[in-house]
Amino acid sequence: MMRALTRRLRRFRKNEDGSVTTIEFVIMVPLIFIAFMMSIEMGVYTMRQMFLDRGLDITVRHVRLNTNTTMTHDQLKDMICTNSGFLPDCNDSLRLEMKPLDPRAFAAFDQTADCVDSTQPVEPVRGFSLGQEHELMVLRACVKFKPVFPATGLGYALEKDGAGLAKMISVSAFVQEPG
């Protein structure tokens, strides 16, 4: 029985039929899987971005229409997290900046977004003021998330902090309505 098995295995090893197909398979299958993993990562990223934008838009509408109501950073953050839905660990990973901008003497927002970094000590909220009637305001939200496939494709290309979390930013501008 063992002789017949070893004889068949030797014959199989020496047989070169289908070797060209095997090489193509070995080269193409990893590429197809990487493309598949990148499409999943991009789909999840796009869905998270859409939910962040939706939560921010609903919150900005509420702030714009309720000018006389004072709101804190944590209240706005809770509203965004409640309205966004699909942002894991939203309350701990979301950070907001809200500043007035003068359209006649425009000064750009700081290019680096104020994001949570769990590897660094806790820093106070930077640039948060509610503004007044008829004032142009810009609200920027930054949320940190863990990529689905952090070691391949798009997940590897995303800029990550020390904890391996990537950031997603959404910006909205509005004018405070008169009260």
The DSSP H or E segment spanning 175 is strand 166-175
Quick check: is 28 in a domain?
Answer: yes
* Residue 106 domain-assigned (yes or no): yes
Answer yes or no: is 56 within a domain: yes
In a domain, 120, yes or no: yes
Confidence band, pLDDT 50/70/90 cuts, at residue 103: confident
Six token digits for residue 1: 């029985």
Give the model's pLDDT for residue 147.
Answer: 92
**Could you count the other beta carbons within 10 Å of the beta carbon of residue 9?**
10
> Which of 120 and 146 is assigned the larger pLDDT?
146
Angle at Cα 46 formed by Cα 53 and Cα 140, nearest 5°?
Answer: 30
**Would you state the pLDDT for residue 10?**
84
Q: Is the pLDDT of residue 134 over 90?
A: no
For residue 8, being part of any structural domain is answered with: no
Question: CA 57 → CA 15, 71, 105, 155, 174, distances in Å?
Answer: 65, 16, 26, 27, 10
CB 92 within 8 A of CB 78: no
- CA angle in degrees (0–180, nearest 5) for 21-25-31: 150
Q: Please, which pLDDT band fits residue 19 given cuts at 50, 70 and 90?
A: low
**Taking the model in full, what pTM does it have?**
0.78
Tokens of 85: 């839905």
What's the domain count of the chain? Answer: 1
Its domain, for residue 50, covers 16-175
pLDDT digits (tens, 9 = 90+) for 137-156: 888 899 999 999 988 888 88
Output the pLDDT for position 2. Answer: 83
